[in-house]
């Protein structure tokens, strides 16, 4: 019987070294000893590799379960009329999952080349680039008031091979039969008109995005291929003035108030000066009277002797 135990032990060791449990909804790419990736992808459940020659590193195990990626950055906009620049804070949340079907040209799983830091930094930079380009075309009120257009646009460019502004005719099938709104354009929408296009047709474009998996030719987008992920959605949480911009706006408001008050005071002084002059006061005395009535000089302040009696008689001997 001893000769039977030895093969059983060898078989048990081989199975132990070859078996890997991949989590539910997960997938993995094994590597050969030495680190070279194997050209195969393991699905979830109990999977086997070549014993002693292959292994499954922890950083090569991924999940199809949705994950959240916060996106936060600041960008500048410029009001085309006033040419005043404002800094805005942008906050959004990307919902994504790792994609086992996106491979490199060499046949390796693309996601194995992308660390979480590369994914976060890269996706943030790409979104910031798009939003920043709009910042050079539109003033800040467009971003603060038109979240729907921006959000819809970003979902289109992040999730589809050809977003709706490239092929606007695709949304025709999603328009209601009684649609009485703007006519759908035929040609690609230029940059300066895209936010308005996405705002106007946000409902049919939203329906189109929900159907993205029905049309294999729409997926994956260039962004998804770059990072080896399937982007489920992007939702904007906030677009608002940065603390520095808010402070600058408050200071500008106070300056405007001071200027308005000074202009109002000047107009009142001019009116009163004309009134006192008509009553016979000389220019200097009339100015003193107007400024005293407006609280700009003290009542006990000494006036010139000439015309003082006339001044007292006109303003009640104060």
**DSSP of the chain, one letter per residue?**
-HHHHHHHHHHHHHHHHHEEEEPTTEEE--EETTSPBPS--B-SEEEE--TTTEE--GGGEEE-S-EEEEEEEEEEEE-TTT--EEEEEEEEEEEEEE-TT-B-TTS-BGGGG--HHHHHHHHHHHHHHHHHHHHTTS-HHHHHH-HHHHHHHHHHHHH-SS-TTTSGGGGGGGS-TT--SPPPPSSPPPHHHHHHHHHHTHHHHHHHHHTGGG-GGG-S-HHHHHHTEEEEEEEEEEEEE-HHHHHHHHHHHHHHHHHHHHHHHHHHHHHHHHHHHHTT--HHHHHHHHHHHTTSS-TTPPPPSTTHHHHHHHTT--
Q: Has residue 246 been placed in a domain?
A: no
Say if residues 209 and 155 touch (Cβ distance below 8 Å): yes
Q: Has residue 39 been placed in a domain?
A: yes
Is there a single domain that holds both residue 25 and residue 140? no
Pair type for strands 54-55 and 45-48? unpaired
Is there a single domain that holds both residue 101 and residue 206? yes
Provide the pLDDT for residue 69: 95
Provide the pLDDT for residue 1: 54
Provide the pLDDT for residue 211: 84
Say if residues 135 and 73 touch (Cβ distance below 8 Å): no
What's the CA gap between 289 and 276, in Å, rounded?
Answer: 8
Say if residues 65 and 97 touch (Cβ distance below 8 Å): yes
Q: Has residue 249 been placed in a domain?
A: no
Residue from 134, 33, 25 nearest 78 by CA: 134
Q: What is the DSSP letter of 59?
A: G
Chain segment 133-187, per-residue pLDDT in tens: 888 888 877 887 777 888 999 999 999 988 889 888 888 778 777 776 677 887 8
Q: Has residue 254 been placed in a domain?
A: no
Provide the pLDDT for residue 98: 94
Last residue of a domain, one of 226, 241, 256: 241
Is there a single domain that holds both residue 93 and residue 164? yes
What's the CA gap between 212 and 163, in Å, rounded?
Answer: 11
Is there a single domain that holds both residue 226 and residue 291? no
Q: Has residue 196 been placed in a domain?
A: yes
Structural domain of 275: 264-314
Is there a single domain that holds both residue 294 and residue 155? no
Is there a single domain that holds both residue 97 and residue 199? yes
Is there a single domain that holds both residue 150 and residue 282? no
Is there a single domain that holds both residue 170 and residue 292? no
Is there a single domain that holds both residue 155 and residue 302? no
Is there a single domain that holds both residue 165 and residue 300? no
Last residue of a domain, one of 14, 35, 62: 62
Is there a single domain that holds both residue 83 and residue 56? no
Say if residues 30 and 60 touch (Cβ distance below 8 Å): yes
Q: Has residue 294 been placed in a domain?
A: yes
Residue from 221, 241, 243 nearest 94 by CA: 221
Q: Has residue 253 been placed in a domain?
A: no
Is there a single domain that holds both residue 193 and residue 82? yes
Say if residues 47 and 80 touch (Cβ distance below 8 Å): no
- Which residue numbers in the chain have pLDDT < 70? 1-3, 6-19, 48, 50, 52, 79-82, 180-181, 246-270, 272-274, 276, 278-318
Provide the pLDDT for residue 299: 46
Q: Has residue 189 been placed in a domain?
A: yes
Position of tokens 């590799």? Answer: 49
Please count the structural domains in the chain: 3
Provide the pLDDT for residue 51: 75
What's the CA gap between 283 and 177, in Å, rounded?
Answer: 77
Count of Cβ atoms closer than 10 Å to residue 108 Cβ: 17
């Amino acid at each position: 019987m001893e000769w039977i135990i030895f093969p059983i032990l060898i078989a048990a060791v081989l199975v132990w070294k070859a078996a890997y449990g991949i989590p539910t909804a997960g997938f993995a790419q094994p590597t050969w000893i030495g680190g070279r990736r194997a050209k195969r992808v393991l699905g979830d459940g109990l999977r086997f590799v070549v014993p002693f020659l292959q292994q499954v590193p922890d950083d090569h195990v991924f999940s199809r379960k949705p994950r959240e990626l916060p996106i936060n950055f600041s960008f500048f906009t410029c009001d085309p009329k006033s040419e005043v620049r404002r800094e805005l804070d942008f906050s959004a949340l990307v919902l994504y999952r790792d994609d086992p079907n996106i491979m490199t040209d060499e046949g390796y799983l693309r996601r194995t080349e992308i660390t979480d830091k590369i994914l976060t930094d890269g996706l943030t930079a790409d979104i910031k680039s798009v939003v920043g380009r709009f910042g050079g075309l539109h003033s800040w009120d467009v971003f603060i008031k038109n979240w729907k257009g921006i959000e819809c646009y970003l979902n289109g460019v992040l999730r589809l091979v050809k977003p709706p502004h490239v092929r606007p005719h695709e949304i025709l099938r999603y328009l209601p039969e009684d649609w009485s709104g703007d006519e759908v354009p035929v040609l690609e929408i230029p940059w300066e008109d895209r936010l308005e296009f996405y705002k106007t047709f946000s409902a049919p474009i939203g329906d189109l995005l929900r159907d993205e998996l029905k049309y294999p030719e729409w997926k994956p987008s260039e962004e998804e291929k770059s990072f080896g992920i399937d982007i489920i959605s992007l939702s904007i949480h906030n677009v608002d003035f940065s603390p520095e911009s808010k402070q600058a706006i408050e200071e500008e408001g106070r300056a405007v108030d001071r200027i308005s008050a000074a202009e109002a005071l000047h107009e009142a002084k001019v009116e009163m000066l004309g009134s006192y002059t008509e009553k016979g006061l000389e220019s200097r005395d009339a100015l003193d009277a107007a400024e005293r009535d407006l609280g700009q000089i003290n009542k006990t302040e000494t006036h010139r002797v000439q015309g003082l009696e006339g001044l007292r008689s006109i303003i009640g001997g104060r």
